[in-house]
Amino acid sequence: MKQAVILAAGEGQRLRPFTVNRPKVMLSIAGRPILGYVVEALAKNGIRNIVMVVGYRKDQIFDYFGSGERFDVEITYVTQERQLGTAHALAQAQGVIADEFLLLLGDNLIEAETIAKFVGVAPEAVLVKKVDNPKRYGVVDIKDGEVQSITEKPEEAGTNIISTGIYAFSKEIFRFIEPELDVPAAVNKVIAQGETIKVALTDGVWLDAVYPWDILSLNDAVLRRVQPNLSGTMESNVAVKGRVAIGENTVLRSHSYIAGPAVIGEDCDIGPSVCIQPSSSIGNNVVINPFTVIRNSVIGDDVNIGPGCIIYNSVIDKGSIIKGQFTACSSLAEVKINGEHYTVDMGVRCRLGNNIVAQPGTIIGNYSQVQGKTISGRLPDRSLVY
């Protein structure tokens, strides 16, 4: 397999507010977009001819990946003008596909090992994985190593084996796409007409960001393999424990404590007396003031966090400003998105004043401003709470 198609056109509405200003594939995980991990996995397996199907806010993908040269790949872009489904997106790439190709979703976190064996499988085939919550995905009915059907988000799952959305196809698949909008429907049509779709099982890293709290799961998975790198400057009595990567021109001020796995970006000012605990990612140009504690959280670029804050299990997006004594509570909470209920730990973002407490499950929309309140639930974009 020498060519791959990555579907990267979607928005990811269930990930709002984080996808209002960027495509889902460009969400940052441990300092890199999700799509970057997919490209890296392909390159490490010798697949350097990549077709990206883009659409929603595609300029951000162009700006980051360009021609692919700095990633040791060659990227061809095609556009899906209207995001009508995965099969419709794949159809846009038909004119630039040579013959056999790997199909992947750009918003799924994978590692090179996940597809290492699959790149040698002959078309037509699907990569499957066993998961704990199959009802969120396309459940695959298998018999004698072949797909019998794929059922998207069933009410009851007869098996815990799901499709990863990674396929080995030949150009024959395009005979079955029209008028289907999604790839699983096209696969079911292939099977209905007597053709065979083989199955390959992976136990490698494969994670999907469907809801905002999934960002924390992806972040934790990436950090488990972070390579220690202590750049920047450390003042006296700074303690660093475990796998920690610290970017250039970052200053860790005295009596701060960093416990890995953790990543801190470039040009940050941390401390003094700041505690960053495991599974935390700090972006570039971040300021964290004294006596703040951060654990299992993702902090975006250009964030300023005031003194005495406690931030657990949170996602704080780019450019947010948080004043002193902010508390992001951590316990179980029920959040409802698109009619679906989930019990989660959740994060916040935006411009927050002093002495704010965010209850578990709080989601604060883009450009919101909050002063001196205990907040909960979901605040829409540009909320003003005083």
Mean pLDDT computed over 177-197: 89
Task: Report the distance separating Cα 229 and Cα 242, nearest Å.
Answer: 11
Q: What is the pLDDT of residue 350?
A: 65
What CATH number has the domain bearing residue 332? 2.160.10.10
Q: What is the pLDDT of residue 376?
A: 67
Q: Same domain for 103 and 176?
A: yes
Q: Same domain for 149 and 272?
A: no
3-state helix, strand, coil in the chain (%, to 5): 20, 35, 45
Q: Same domain for 191 and 251?
A: no
Query: What are the phi and psi torsion angles at 356 (to 5°)?
Result: -100, 140
Q: Same domain for 193 and 301?
A: no
Q: Is 319 left (phi over 0), alpha (psi -120 to 50) or beta?
A: left
| Of the residues 210, 239, 256, the one at which a domain ends | 210
pLDDT interval class at 74 (50, 70, 90): very high
Q: Same domain for 100 and 165?
A: yes
- Residue 278 located in a structural domain: yes
Q: Same domain for 250 and 289?
A: yes
Strand partners, 139: 151, 162
Task: Report the distance separating Cα 140 and Cα 135, nearest Å.
Answer: 11
What CATH number has the domain bearing residue 155? 3.90.550.10
Task: Report the distance separating Cα 307 and Cα 289, nearest Å.
Answer: 5
- Residue 254 located in a structural domain: yes
For residue 60, which of 20, 116, 14, 2 has the smallest C-alpha distance?
Answer: 20
> Which residue type occupies 318?
K
Domain around 341: 228-385
pLDDT surpassing 70 at residue 344: no
- Residue 132 located in a structural domain: yes
- Residue 336 located in a structural domain: yes
Biggest distance spanned by C-alpha atoms of the chain: 70
| Of the residues 182, 210, 238, the one at which a domain ends | 210
Q: Same domain for 278 and 319?
A: yes
- Residue 215 located in a structural domain: no
Q: Same domain for 182 and 264?
A: no
Mean pLDDT computed over 378-385: 75
Summarised one tens digit per residue, pLDDT across range 204-241 is: 999 888 777 788 889 999 998 899 999 989 999 999 99
| Of the residues 184, 210, 236, the one at which a domain ends | 210
- Residue 216 located in a structural domain: no
Question: Which residues fall within 8 angstroms of residue 189, CB to CB, at 6 or more apart?
Answer: 176, 180
For residue 166, which of 197, 128, 203, 192 has the smallest C-alpha distance?
Answer: 128
Q: What is the pLDDT of residue 45?
A: 95
Q: Which helix (H) or strand (E) holds 216?
A: helix 214-223
pLDDT interval class at 305 (50, 70, 90): very high
Q: pTM value?
A: 0.84
Q: How many domains does the chain have?
A: 2
Q: Same domain for 238 and 170?
A: no
Q: Same domain for 149 and 15?
A: yes
- Residue 222 located in a structural domain: no
Q: Same domain for 192 and 234?
A: no
- Residue 223 located in a structural domain: no
Question: Which residues fall within 8 angstroms of residue 188, CB to CB, at 6 or more apart?
Answer: 149, 150
Summarised one tens digit per residue, pLDDT across range 148-157 is: 999 988 888 8
Q: Same domain for 282 and 195?
A: no
Q: Are 140 and 117 in contact (CB under 8 A)?
A: no
247-256 burial, b at 16+ Cβ within 10 Å, e below that, comes to beebbbbebb
Task: Report the distance separating Cα 373 and Cα 323, nearest Å.
Answer: 13
